[in-house]
Amino acid sequence: MNKYYNTLKKKIQNRELRIAIAGMGYVGLPLAKTIADAEYRDIIGLDIDLDKIKKINNGMSVINTLEVSDLENLLASGFRATSDFSLLDQADALVICVPTPLNQYKEPDLSYIVSTVEMASKFLSKGVFLSLESTTWPGTTEEVIAKILENAGFSIGKDLFLGYSPEREDPGRSDYTTATIPKIISGQTNQCLHIAESFYGSFINEVVRVSNPKTAELVKLLENIQRSVNIGLMNEMKMIADKMNINIFEVIEAAASKPFGFTKYLPGPGVGGHCIPVDPFYLTWKAKEFNFHTKFIELAGEINDGMPNYIIQRITSILNNYKKAISGSKLLILGLSYKKNISDLRESPNLEILQELITLGAEVDYSDPFFENIPPLRKFNFNMKSQSLNKDSIASYDLVILLTDHDTFDYELIKKYSKHIVDTRGIFKLDKTTTYA
């Protein structure tokens, strides 16, 4: 074992590692908290968003999954956010948690990863551990990151240790934390793997070793593709059930009573967040390199992508049943985020539905406890304010459309005073005011 390896192992053991985390979002911030909770006292968070950095350093949480008290404790541990990459010359470890979106052609966009590694390589000293956690296609760590580092003069496995460990955050979930979710780890060489195991094992309860980064990268894609495929199946089943005038939510609940052989997935207005709408395309893109067409995966994606249009068609049909045109109808959308109890609008299909209803001439309002206003977004720019819910406001709408089932909604009040309800989440019991969609 070389001197760099031994030094890193010793620093990990003594909690003396100086750690930098690139990307202060839903992955990076909880990771920083978890590392600080394990008694590390030299952590910085890197980000290019100066407003976000200012808010974090002033004790303002920028994600709803991190309480203000958690952020205050993190800052009290010595953590600071910065845009100064030159501070990496003092780092022993760099963990990259930057976005990996799709471009306009639904092809992988690794620009954030590449720019981060290129910038970091200018300042990193020899003997550092670098781990990528961003979701990506199999081969990224070895074919992209390693080459950048080698071109910068590093020797992987000798004076720089490279690994891939996919993030497994699930915003809004309270029964698991970053520390208690088993962590997939990999390394480009055996020494890289041993360093990764020591590093993550020092603050994660359980680490799961796989043979190489390419395998770990595919693990992450498989986890989310499985969800995409199963949600796509449920969405297709919902459309079939609607044709047959059967309540698909009742069907699913009954099927879920079977103690084996059935896993419960629910349909909805589409899929959102960074993972499910994006990850499958990373594999389908890479598969083309091997002249392979991922038909099953792409079909599920097509079904899920088509759900906002299906919901619009259902809303139009339901209004027609009440002798109302969609143009001029007064509609209320409940929930903007892609899942309950979070302030995350990334890839939310609800925004597509909101935009299309406006385009069709409806008078649309929304209510969401996590968004007083809708922030400017890449695809959308709404100038709207969340509406408070009371008996008079609810009764004023021709149709109330439940898209996200936040726990803070008063469903009894909504049910009592709504003229008509469209429920895409299976929350309301069937009655004369409710239509499932």
Would you name the residues annotated as active-site residues?
275
Q: Give the residue among 170, 302, 144 at the shortest CA–CA distance from 223.
A: 170
Torsions phi, psi for 129 (to 5 deg): -105, 130
**Cβ atoms 347, 338 nearer than 8 A:** yes
Q: What is the 3-state secondary structure (H, E, C) of 421-434?
A: EEECCCCCCCCCCE
**Cβ atoms 8, 127 nearer than 8 A:** yes
Any idea which residue has 């709803």 for tokens?
64
Q: Give the residue among 359, 366, 363 at the shortest CA–CA distance from 335.
A: 366
Round to whole Å and give the CA distance between 41 and 338.
35
Vertex 271: Cα angle to 265 and 276 (nearest 5): 85
**Cβ atoms 138, 221 nearer than 8 A:** yes
Counting beta carbons within 10 angstroms of the beta carbon of residue 365, is it exposed (0 to 12), middle (13 to 18) or buried (19 or more)? Answer: middle
